[in-house]
Structure 1
């Protein structure tokens, strides 16, 4: 996709909608995780995970939300997108494997898709610049 296509108004609007939803869920979910709300704690223990995992996930979710919103720092954004993708797909796998909380699966699927959409639609200023491929010479036998 070229930069003129990426910067068209509908693409920018779609990017910000997807990013706003993902960052809001990460931030609110992070706070809920750190607070160990009963609802969240019940889900995590129902899936077989220890509750201390909530504090770890919560802190990383809040940091990830901040990283996606602040300008610059494209490498940090890549890590935040990867972390978000791992959180949502990991939760999906956990729910599907255990069969616990099947109502969460559609929400997690949407969040995974929105994370991927935000990453794909992000403006060029928020991407890592590609390095030119290195020319390698194979050693001859």
Structure 2
């Protein structure tokens, strides 16, 4: 009887840990990556140029990444959080497509794919207060 009561609490704790870990990774990458983009760090600039994009795109992406990082850590604004999650998925999947198309640093596809996965995990496991009213995704822990 005690194990039945403990299982939902344990599942909730695991879910919370997974959510926080995935979200921390997504926020850290968005914040650091955004800063690198805005600063046009040579490593990032060289990749963007090699992929065939103009360097001013870095500033645009960097600003949006920084805003996404801020929104994902702040309480409230559930609809804006949805946009932030969507934006990060667009950035990562766009980068995957670009790397595969140009056949440049294909090993980075694994890292980018992991970031897509972490973003989806963070989005799917977010607490109810971070979801817009009436959102369809409801992943709950089963007893």
| TM-score bucket (shorter structure) | 0.7 to 0.9
Which of the residues 14, 33, 36 maps onto 2:18? 14
Aligned partners of 1:62, 1:36: CA distance in 2, in Å? 14
Which of the residues 45, 51, 64 maps onto 2:49? 45
Q: Considering only aligned residues, what root-mean-square deviation do their CA atoms show, in Å?
A: 1.4
Q: Does 1:110 align with 2:114?
A: yes
Q: TM-score, normalised by structure 1?
A: 0.87
2:31 aligns to what?
27
SS where residue 43 of structure 2 aligns?
Answer: helix
Count how many residue pairs are aligned between Structure 1 and Structure 2: 127
1:100 aligns to what?
104
Which of the residues 55, 68, 72 maps onto 1:68? 72
Unaligned runs of 5+ in 2: 1-7, 136-143
Q: Select the structure that is richer in helix.
A: 2
Aligned partners of 2:19, 2:80: CA distance in 1, in Å? 18
How far residue 104 of structure 1 moved from its aligned partner, in angstroms, is 1.0
Q: TM-score, normalised by structure 2?
A: 0.86
SS where residue 132 of structure 2 aligns?
Answer: coil
Aligned partners of 1:46, 1:125: CA distance in 2, in Å? 42
